[in-house]
Amino acid sequence: MSESDRQQLLNLFAAEAEENLASFEDLLLQLEAAPQQIELLHDIFRAAHTLKGSASCLQFNELTAFAHVVEGTLDRLRNREVDVTPQRISQLLNAVDALRDLSARSVAGNCMLTIGEKELLASLSGSAVEPKTQTPAVTPSNANAIRSARSLRVDMEKLDRMLDLTGEITIARGRVHDLIAAAESRERLVDAVREVDRLSRSLQELVMSARLVPVGPALRHFHRVVRDLAAGGQKRVNLVIEGNEVEIDATALEHLKDPITHMIRNAVDHGIEKPEDRVAHGKSATGTITITAAHESGAVVIRIADDGRGISEIEIEKRARAAGIDTERLSRREVLGLIFQPGFSTAKKVTEVSGRGVGMDVVLRNVHALRGTVSIASQPGVGTTITLRLPLTIALIEGFAVSVGEETYILPIDSIVECVELPADSGSDACGVLRLRGVPIPFVRLRQLFHLDTPSPARENVIIVEREEEEQRAGIVVDALIGAKQTVMKPMSRLLQRPIGVAGSSILGNGRVALILDPEEIARLAAA
């Protein structure tokens, strides 16, 4: 077998093992909720058996042996020799973690068992005896050990349609060449080029849609996270997931995993109260966290709601003052925004997983990077709801091109309210105020803001954008308006970090790079 063949097999094994173990884990959690459902055990057994089979094909002997012991335990459960207890489920979940780890290590060529794994193996084989100490895994240790190597499963039908379209594009391009060679009439040439355009746009849309994946499988993993966190914090939490079938860009979903994990941790650790406290407040002993995915007016919305104690503004302020922040000088929004600052936490006590002041800043950073927004609604004693709103496609935006001197910039078209000529009496300072139908609107000149040294033209245009916060309008002054076009957003180099006012970059028809602006940030500078 050649090296590349073996590598392909290993990749396939890694992907399958991850899928298998994910369903193993999921089924275990279902079994915990419904111990009498013997069919679940059959499915779990099948998942373990499949893993054992593929491991032995690749001669991963340690992994095969481990899976075999797990099978033995499952068999005893199936035959009612031992009972399904939360301890047993924990033990098996630990086994899932170990199998995950071991699979990843086997693929990497290191299949030695760790001491912890040997102990686990011993306790599994002597499964009739209760393990003496039972420590529930608080952190889902290596849930991401097998990274799905940035690959994606695509519906065969979609691929076929892509292939058809590329074929049609080739034919249409051939026709354009023929027409040019034969010096045919202009109209027929224009028609042929239009056809190429139409086809390439369909292809682009199809490729974009191939990047969409349902959120369900990724969210399922949070059942385990919630279970382990709840066990660690002596809480009772029920996780409800709604909207499994909602599709979202695969990359966006990847970037959302960390933020959702942090929000879930916050909800379990700080939101949901201890069972006795909940009962004392007239709530049910078990708290509920709901993750909802939905499409709402051209955006994907992910909502995480808990019915816990909620966030109190007084608590945030107290905490801020304790940290030496002068809250008198801050607006209410800024005070509340503090919970997103690194190193800031309202948690009364620091637990293993949260309350160390990391987390919410990650939520904000990742969501902002995806051009999304975050909103929080909370009521003390009732609960907290955090809503993430993200654009449907992250790579394609409807843009509006403008120019300043020799530079071209692109603004997302949905942020633009209108474009007008800047009144002649608007001075020449970087910032100013113009009156539009009697309403004063602050504006900023892009030339000065970006320190461009080209001379200003006699007539300038101003683009009026709506600021999401405070519902104010602001103007961005440019030289000329070029027009609307669909734009493919390219990531910026890490070297550039994220310059203020710039959301990304794109390549123009002439091969030059154009920056995509963040109107919200620029407008904020105008108003400042």
**Residues in touch with another protein (CB under 8 A):** 310-313, 333, 336-337, 340-342, 361, 364-365, 367-368, 372-380, 387, 389, 407, 449-452, 468-469, 490-502, 505, 507, 511-515, 518, 520-521, 524
HEC letters along 33-58: HCCCCHHHHHHHHHHHHHHHHHHHHC
- Nearest-approach distance from CB 336 to another protein, in angstroms: 4
Which residue number, 105 or 371, has a Cβ lying nearer to another protein?
371
Q: Tokens representing 225?
A: 């996270």
Q: Residues 6 or more apart from 191 whose CB is under 8 A from it?
A: none
Which residue number, 138 or 382, has a Cβ lying nearer to another protein?
382
Q: Tell how strand 431-436 and strand 439-445 pair up.
A: antiparallel
Which residue number, 212 or 492, has a Cβ lying nearer to another protein?
492
List the one residue out of 401, 400, 399, 402 whose CA is nearest residue 478. 402
- Nearest-approach distance from CB 29 to another protein, in angstroms: 33
Residue corresponding to tokens 């040439």: 189
Which residue number, 364 or 420, has a Cβ lying nearer to another protein?
364
- Nearest-approach distance from CB 405 to another protein, in angstroms: 10
Strand order in the sheet with 461-466: 416-421, 461-466, 473-478, 439-445, 431-436
**Identity of the residue numbered 171:** I
Distance CA 87, CA 133 (A): 10
Which residue number, 85 or 341, has a Cβ lying nearer to another protein?
341
Which residue number, 45 or 409, has a Cβ lying nearer to another protein?
409
Which residue number, 484 or 502, has a Cβ lying nearer to another protein?
502
Q: Tokens representing 286?
A: 């078990």
Phi/psi for 52 (5° steps) reads -60, -45
Distance CA 395, CA 392 (A): 9
Q: Tokens representing 33?
A: 């909720």
Distance CA 400, CA 410 (A): 5
User: Which one-letter DSSP state was computed for residue 494?
Assistant: G
- Nearest-approach distance from CB 491 to another protein, in angstroms: 8
- Nearest-approach distance from CB 141 to another protein, in angstroms: 22
Which residue number, 146 or 522, has a Cβ lying nearer to another protein?
522
- Nearest-approach distance from CB 385 to another protein, in angstroms: 10
Distance CA 316, CA 304 (A): 20
Strand order in the sheet with 513-517: 480-488, 396-404, 407-412, 513-517, 502-507
- Nearest-approach distance from CB 334 to another protein, in angstroms: 8
**Identity of the residue numbered 46:** R
Which residue number, 353 or 514, has a Cβ lying nearer to another protein?
514
- Nearest-approach distance from CB 94 to another protein, in angstroms: 30
- Nearest-approach distance from CB 20 to another protein, in angstroms: 30
